[in-house]
Structure 1
Amino acid sequence: MTENAPSATDTSLRFLFDEADLRGEFVQLDSAYRDILALHHHSPAVSRLLGEFLAAAVLLATTLKFEGKLILQARSEGQIPLLMVECSSELELRGIVRGAEQATAERFDLLLANGQLAITIDPRRGKRYQGVVPLDGDNLAQCLQSYFAQSEQLGTRLWLAADGERAGGLLLQQLPSQLVTDSRQRDNFWEHACTLAATARDEELLTLAPAELLHRLYHEEALRLFEPRTPLFRCSCSRERTFGALVALGREELESLLAEQGAITMDCEFCNSRYQYQREDLAELLQGSPEPPLH
């Protein structure tokens, strides 16, 4: 498992409008984003796309009250057959892109042509939930907004940016009516808040301090800022988990692999960690008593 200490610019900040039923989240990724990019070769366009997925995963994970992880998974017939990002409730991030080495397109619709986006909520306790939406927008933010429009009654808007060095994003979401009960007034404020958010340039999402950006956008509104949290890159792979995958192979297939290769090697796609098992490591498993080796 690979861990990296985050810099001060890896930040997720929640905020509330004191006079409206509206919440927001702002995220900036710096070292967490670069640490993930450093593990594999990506073109600039793929790096930007992965950054937007990472920022979106943090924004969406913060809207949920659960312990577990949120998974964004895009499958397509384009140059990127699979892009997957995970964000835990502790804001631990990891991500992979398959086909990145050959991808040359710049446009979202070519990289992820004829694709689908699956959003999976995987709680540590309780049932898994998954929603799927076509990747038929011009960018990831549009596709996510289509998902929320289909599955949620509360308005949700996102703005995402990435440049290969930093990734950032802003989310606004309506809350159930409590402070403002008049529907017209509620809709007007929602449009007002979204119109102001849309004025934020990509460069500002990536470089301005969170409090500075929110002041620029909403200095005439009463905002309540919460304690910022720190997203970071951390892979959840382990020797015990890879051993579990070997258990599923069965004794005959393990014997065949050992005879052919001498040892069995398992590589993590997310962090490039390598786990190797010699015959003696698998002795109990081969004899029918699967206990994972600790070394």
Structure 2
Amino acid sequence: MTTDVKPDAGIDTLQKFIFDNAAVRGEFIDISATWRETLSHNSYPPAVQAVLGEMVAAAALLSANLKFNGSIIMQIHGDGPVRLMVVECDAELRLRATAKLDPKAQIADDATVPALLNANGNGRFIITLDPNDKMPGQQPYQGIVPLDGDDLATVIENYMLRSEQLDTRLWLATNDTTSRGLLLQKLPHHGGKAEAVPLSEEDALDTWNRAVMLASTLKPEEMLSTDIDTLMQRLFWEETIRVFEPTHPSFHCSCTREKVGNMLKMLGQPEVDGTLDEFGEVSVNCDFCGQRYAFDKVDCAQLFVTDAPAEALISASAVKH
């Protein structure tokens, strides 16, 4: 096993690797600092926190394999006590995340993904690819599938197989301070050869099955308490692995006053004026980072006399005083 490049300690790290002369690539991630920053802005029941923490790790793992100048937005639209979970990750691995709950929901600490998000079988898992450099009229790519799986890793594996035709396995673990994950992916074959890696299909399958078997010995407690380099040594010490330069995810919220103003324009002047009449200002908190934006009567009047496009790019909640 070749491990010339080691992740830096103390910061979030995503470590890519590939099995030499094989058709399997992988990624380990420790995204704990980003996860702690996410939790500092919102409080969630333990069961919701567990799923959202896994989504943060999974979104970064999937995004890191995309040659794409834009953002990946991972969403679960639920029909249970959790109505929405969202994680957004851009090309620089900057992430933000939030969840929306039914205000009346009573959520058990050990509630499962189906109980939280698919109580009536109508939950949906969605991945959106939103390019930064869209052509005129171009819409983001969006893949939507039923919420198929008893845990988040299985949901994403089923999505990748159904929508992207890629064999993908995920191992995810989180608590209130740590979020980590491992992704393995079988590279596609074309005419009996893997992308850039010559290998027979039979040998590729053997390598894939062995890699999955080794990774499946990893327990959540071990993943949460052990650094990436040690985990790779424990799991793949007999394999010939190439390890690449690590990247470093981070928390970042892209909300701005301009974007919130555009969202208010989409609501329309009558609704905004009604809020002004009742409360004297319109106050909006970003769901992702908690930043408060206040608009008084003069601010709101200016919104509706400018020709700025009305694009709402953040999720925000109006707060009444």
The TM-score, its normalising length taken from structure 2, stands at 0.83
**Which is worse superposed, 277-286 or 185-194?**
277-286
- Please list every run of at least 4 consecutive aligned residues from structure 1 whose deviation after the TM superposition is greater than 6 angstroms: none
Deviation sequence 1:54-95 (CA, Å, 0-9, x none): 111111111111121111111122121111111111111111
Cα offset, 1:103, TM superposition: 4.3
Distance 1:252 1:44 in 2: 40
Is the Cα contact below 8 Å between 1:85 and 1:93 reproduced in 2? yes
Distance 2:89 2:225 in 1: 22
Is the Cα contact below 8 Å between 2:21 and 2:199 reproduced in 1? no
Distance 2:70 2:18 in 1: 24
Q: Which amino acid aligns with 1:145?
A: E
Unaligned runs of 5+ in 2: 1-8, 189-193, 310-321
1:77 aligned residue: 79
Aligned residue runs from structure 1 range 213-224, under 5 A: 213-224=231-242
Aligned residue for 1:63, secondary structure, equals coil
2:150 aligned residue: 138
Q: Which amino acid aligns with 1:289?
A: T
* 1:166 aligned onto 2:184: no
2:191 aligned residue: none
Unaligned runs of 5+ in 1: 1-6
Cα offset, 1:290, TM superposition: 4.8
Q: Which amino acid aligns with 2:96?
A: R
Q: Which amino acid aligns with 1:27?
A: I
Question: Structure 1 residues 15 and 152 mapped into 2: Cα distance closer, same or farther (>3 Å)?
Answer: same
Cα offset, 1:214, TM superposition: 1.0
Aligned residue for 2:265, secondary structure, equals helix
> How many equivalent residue pairs?
286
1:276 aligned residue: 294
Is the Cα contact below 8 Å between 1:155 and 1:174 reproduced in 2? yes
Question: Structure 1 residues 103 and 37 mapped into 2: Cα distance closer, same or farther (>3 Å)?
Answer: farther
**Which is worse superposed, 49-58 or 37-46?**
37-46
Aligned residue for 1:203, secondary structure, equals helix
Aligned residue for 1:56, secondary structure, equals helix
The correspondence for 1:109, drawn from 93, 107, 114, is: 114
Distance 2:223 2:245 in 1: 19
The correspondence for 1:289, drawn from 301, 306, 320, is: 306
Distance 1:132 1:23 in 2: 25
1:119 aligned residue: 127
Distance 1:39 1:117 in 2: 24
Aligned residue for 2:68, secondary structure, equals coil
**Which is worse superposed, 243-252 or 274-283?**
243-252
Q: Which amino acid aligns with 1:121?
A: L
The correspondence for 1:156, drawn from 158, 168, 174, is: 168
Distance 1:179 1:91 in 2: 26
CA RMSD of aligned residues (A): 2.1
1:3 aligned residue: none
Cα offset, 1:169, TM superposition: 0.7
Question: Structure 1 residues 100 and 47 mapped into 2: Cα distance closer, same or farther (>3 Å)?
Answer: farther
Distance 1:202 1:251 in 2: 51
1:231 aligned residue: 249
Is the Cα contact below 8 Å between 1:28 and 1:205 reproduced in 2? no
Distance 2:295 2:177 in 1: 37
The TM-score, its normalising length taken from structure 1, stands at 0.90
